[in-house]
Amino acid sequence: MRLSGVVDRLFTVKRIYWVGLCAVAAVLLGQEALKYSEKLEHAPTPLPDRLILTWSGDAKTTQSMTWRTDTSVTTPVVEFAETQDGPNFAKATSKVKGMSQPFETELSVAHYHSATLTGLKAGTNYNYRVGDGVNWSEWNRFRTAGVVEEDFEFFYFGDAQTQIAEHCALLFQTAFRHAPNARFLVHAGDLINN
């Protein structure tokens, strides 16, 4: 093959290469995005999520909480201390062990954990976090009810039922703008569709 033939051949190969690359790009650009898997979106992990405060006793001296992890977590624990200015509260914490219960849905099997703190001081701010002793949530805060009756605000929501993440964020944002110091919320329903 003469030199000019070699050059022609190289250009031909390059053209085919570019045509191929453009075709792949067109397919990729024209393709619709894929729906992210609900199983992955809602999958539990060793890190706590869905942390909820509730009461099972006197609101002045007790505080209960629940949270979710994957099934690897079997040593649920709450760490807590009275709130101080700054982070030094973390040097004077107490720990309370929780209980675990498996819960299976169409998306996953998770462990739901619960614990109750008792012997708390009335009208007092506490910082707390939940975890397995190694992996923790962020620090959060609650306030026990005062000895003397205090006025307070709370939210009362209907049964959101379905598309909760998609639509209820707007409701929650509006509610907390309206009453930023609300002490708790009540859902008048089970928040599920079936």
Return residues touching Fe ion (CB under 5 A).
159, 161, 189-190
**Least distance from C-beta 159 to Fe ion, angstroms?**
4
**Least distance from C-beta 86 to Fe ion, angstroms?**
43
Dihedral over Cα of 125, 127, 184, 54: its sign? negative
AA letter at 144? T
**Least distance from C-beta 107 to Fe ion, angstroms?**
17
Each as own residue / partner, the long-range contacts of residues 65-69 (CB below 8 Å, 24 or more positions apart, any chain) are 65/114, 65/115, 65/116, 65/128, 65/130, 66/112, 66/113, 66/114, 67/112, 67/113, 67/130, 67/137, 68/44, 68/110, 68/111, 68/112, 68/113, 69/44, 69/45, 69/110, 69/111, 69/113, 69/132
**Least distance from C-beta 160 to Fe ion, angstroms?**
8
CB 129 within 8 A of CB 139: yes
C-beta closer to Fe ion: residue 152 or 172 = 172
C-beta closer to Fe ion: residue 56 or 161 = 161
C-beta closer to Fe ion: residue 163 or 174 = 163
C-beta closer to Fe ion: residue 109 or 191 = 191
C-beta closer to Fe ion: residue 123 or 189 = 189
Nearest to 75 by CA among 53, 97, 103, 47: 97
**Least distance from C-beta 169 to Fe ion, angstroms?**
18
